[in-house]
C-alpha cells in the first residue's frame, strides 16, 4: 500500500508532463507540414556532392 502512495502521484505527474510536452509540440508547429519534411530528408541537395569511391579512405578525419 505504501508503494501506491508513491507510484500514483508519480504516474499522474508523468501523464501531465507528457500532455504538456504534446501541447508544446502542437503550439510550436511540429505537426504542421509532415509531407515536406519527409521529402526534404530524402531529396538531394544541389551543393552536396556524393563521395567518389576513390576518395574514401580509412584514415581518421583529423590527427592528434
State the average pLDDT for the chain. Answer: 80
Backbone CA torsion sign across 28, 34, 35, 41: positive
Q: What is the mean pLDDT of residues 11-39?
A: 90
pLDDT at 22: 97
Element (H, E) at 62: none
Question: Rounded distance, CA 51 to CA 62, Å?
Answer: 18
Q: What is the mean pLDDT of residues 18-25?
A: 97
pLDDT at 25: 94
Decide if 25 contacts 31 (C-beta within 8 A).
Answer: yes
Question: Rounded distance, CA 29 to CA 40, Å?
Answer: 17
The domain limits of the chain are 1-29
Amino acid at each position: 500500500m505504501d508503494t501506491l502512495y508513491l507510484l500514483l502521484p508519480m504516474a499522474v505527474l508523468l501523464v501531465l508532463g507528457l500532455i504538456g510536452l504534446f501541447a508544446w509540440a502542437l503550439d510550436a508547429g511540429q505537426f504542421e507540414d509532415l509531407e515536406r519534411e519527409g521529402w526534404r530528408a530524402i531529396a538531394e541537395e544541389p551543393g552536396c556532392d556524393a563521395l567518389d569511391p576513390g576518395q574514401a579512405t580509412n584514415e581518421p578525419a583529423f590527427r592528434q
